[in-house]
Structure 1
Amino acid sequence: MQRTPPKTGLSQGQSVSEPDIPTAAAEKADAVNITVRNKRQRLADSPNSVEYTEGSGALSAFKLELMDMLTNWKSEQEKLLTSWKDEQAIILSKLVKEVAELKEKCLSLEKCNAEFDNSMSFINEKFESLYSKASLLEKKGIDREVHINRLNKQVQDLNFLSRQATIELRNIPTKDQETPADLISAVSSVGKTIDLEVQQSAFRDVYRIPGKPGLCRPILAEFSSVNKRNEFLSKVRKFNKERSVNDKLNTQLLGIAGEKKPVFIDKHLPPATKKLLYEARQFAKARNCTCWYSNGRILLKKDPADKPVEIKSEKCLTMLALTVPVSDPSRVKP
């Protein structure tokens, strides 16, 4: 069973509104006997009250003081902010300036590095060029040294060939206004002493080596043949070997007036060969070796069974000194 709502004269979805709500509420309250509460009275400090009007001066002063404080605080903060901004601006300006200076220095360093690299490249090129030239010069120097040694050897060979038939007589006193005949006579007297007849025709030339006046310069006697020279030297060695030290060939035996002096006769050698032979003999004495000169060669050996070693220069003696120990240190030349 359905209930039909009463007719209100309103269509569906509409509502009735009272235009005067307070009056309607009062009437309704009266109708239902409802007591309406009166509005609360204003307090004494209400803005519209007389007491509040009298005390409003203190509040206004407080507000003004607070506003002044806030204003001062704001001003101080603005000053501090302005000062901080100025300091930051100065610091930033200095920083920018320093960065610019650093950038400029970096550019300068880069430029210097570039110049240094260029200089090093230039120096490296020059060094390579000089090194190549030095290597070439060193090679040329070695070649020249070999060539010079070869030439020296040839000169020594020529000297040896030119002096093959020459002997050297030392310690024979010089006569005043000496002539070649006097020199031939002195050599001939040596031949008589050693029991060897020497004719004037056996000599190609006889002369003294040039030197300072007043010195006893050696006599060079060049024979006409090498065999005659070798025979003469053989007789001299045999004569000295058969006699004591005091009775060996001397000026007294040759009939030369004055102080008795030993007379030395040997092959005539070039100065360089003579010096090298002397060094080799000193070397041999200190190490109990045998040293001799034969056919333009200086030979040395330690034991009779050893193969002779040819001494071509002082360098050979230096190399041998590393392998052959010294037997008699007192004979080593200082």
Structure 2
Amino acid sequence: MQRTPPKTGLSQGQSVSEPDIPTATAGKADVVNITTRNKRQRLADSPNKEECTEQTGPFSAFKLELMDMLTTWKSEQEKLLRSWKDEQAVILSNLVRDVTELKRKCLSIEKSNAEIDNSMSFINEKFESLNSKVSLLEKERIEHQDHINHLKKQVQDLNFLSRQATIEVRNIPMNEKETPTDLISAVSSIGKTVNMEVGQSAFRDVYRIPGKAGLCRPIVAEFSCVNKRNEFLAKVRKFNKERSVNDKLNTQLIGIAGEKKPVYIDEHMPPATKKLLYDVRQFAKARSYSSWYSNGRILLKKDPTDKPVEIKSEKCLSMLAIPVPVPAPERVKP
């Protein structure tokens, strides 16, 4: 069976409870399992303020000391922070100043670099121009040198042609009042000694080479024709070749009084040819070559069977002085 519950005026989910349990249970002996707890009163609301102050005094002092310490620490930190900020501001200001100065210097360096680039470009242009001019001048110098050598050769040929019929007699003593007739007589005496009759009509001109006073200057005798000159030289060379050193052509044999001196007769050469012939003879003596002068040509050879080499300049001697590399023998494979 169902019964209807009594009406309490409560909605579903609500319950009846006493808000003040200690007051509700006061005077009831059968309520023994209920434990009561006194609520701690606040200091401001406590009726016993003096008692609470005595109990909380040390804590309050510690709290005040801690607050003072925190306040002091905070002020020190704020002071340090302000000092740090001031230092950072100074550093930042210096940094800004340094960066500004660095930018200014960078701009100055960029300007200088631009000027240097312009200068280098200008120098490069000038260098290329000068290099072209130097190359052109070098080419012209080579051409001029070739032309000069060609002119020298022509001058040498002209000298040779102008001296084709002349001889040079060295070591004939000089007289104080010497005349061309005396010189012709001396050359004619040489002709008689070598078995060749040479009269005054055989000569076009006879004279001594100009030079310092007191020196025995050579005699230049120009024959009337080249064949006569060549015949005279051939006779002299044959005469000297058939005799010993002491009996070769000398001043006593040609009837000149005084000390006996050897007499040397050769073709009349220009000074440049004489110097070149001297160098060739020194070269031949040092390397066991044979050298001689014939009809304006200086000839040189190593062995009697070799073909003579004509020496036209010192460059030819330099080329002969350079040793020719001998190729190494080929290795025979086993």
TM-score under structure 1 length normalisation: 0.81
Q: Which runs of 5+ in 2 are unaligned?
A: 326-334
2:38 maps to which of 37, 40, 43: 40
Kindly provide the CA deviation profile for residues 252-278 of structure 1, in whole angstroms up to 9, marking residues without a partner as x.
Answer: 112212111111111101111111112
User: In the comparison of the two structures, how many residue pairs are matched?
Assistant: 320
Matched-pair contact (CA < 8 Å) for 1:233–1:265: yes
The aligned residue for residue 119 of structure 1 is 119
Kindly provide the CA deviation profile for residues 2-33 of structure 1, in whole angstroms up to 9, marking residues without a partner as x.
Answer: x998998x9xxx88x9xxx979xx99x99xx9
Q: Which runs of 5+ in 1 are unaligned?
A: 326-334
Q: Quick check: 1:308 aligned with 2:308?
A: yes
The aligned residue for residue 329 of structure 1 is none
Equivalent position amino acid for 1:40 in 2: N
Q: Which moved more, 1:179-188 or 1:62-71?
A: 62-71
- How far does residue 91 in structure 1 lie from its aligned partner after superposition? 2.4
- How far does residue 194 in structure 1 lie from its aligned partner after superposition? 1.7
The aligned residue for residue 75 of structure 1 is 75
Q: Which moved more, 1:158-167 or 1:125-134?
A: 125-134
- How far does residue 290 in structure 1 lie from its aligned partner after superposition? 2.4
The aligned residue for residue 180 of structure 1 is 180
Kindly provide the CA deviation profile for residues 229-283 of structure 1, in whole angstroms up to 9, marking residues without a partner as x.
Answer: 1111111112212222111111111221211111111110111111111222222
Matched-pair contact (CA < 8 Å) for 1:44–1:51: no
- How far does residue 60 in structure 1 lie from its aligned partner after superposition? 4.9
The aligned residue for residue 276 of structure 1 is 276
The aligned residue for residue 332 of structure 2 is none
Equivalent position amino acid for 1:91 in 2: I
- How far does residue 112 in structure 1 lie from its aligned partner after superposition? 3.3
Aligned CA distance change for structure 1 residues 74 and 207 (closer, same or farther; 3 Å): same
Listed as ranges, the matches of 1:147-226 within 5 Å are 147-226=147-226
The aligned residue for residue 330 of structure 1 is none
Equivalent position amino acid for 1:294 in 2: S
Equivalent position amino acid for 2:289 in 1: C
CA distance in 2, matches of 1:278, 1:38: 151
- How far does residue 303 in structure 1 lie from its aligned partner after superposition? 2.4
The aligned residue for residue 262 of structure 1 is 262
Q: Cα RMSD between the aligned structures? A: 3.6
Aligned CA distance change for structure 1 residues 288 and 62 (closer, same or farther; 3 Å): closer
CA distance in 1, matches of 2:3, 2:39: 51
CA distance in 2, matches of 1:323, 1:34: 144
Listed as ranges, the matches of 1:47-58 within 5 Å are 47-49=46-48, 50-53=50-53
- How far does residue 47 in structure 1 lie from its aligned partner after superposition? 2.8
Residue 167 of structure 2 aligns to a residue whose secondary structure is strand
Residue 67 of structure 2 aligns to a residue whose secondary structure is helix
CA distance in 1, matches of 2:42, 2:132: 118
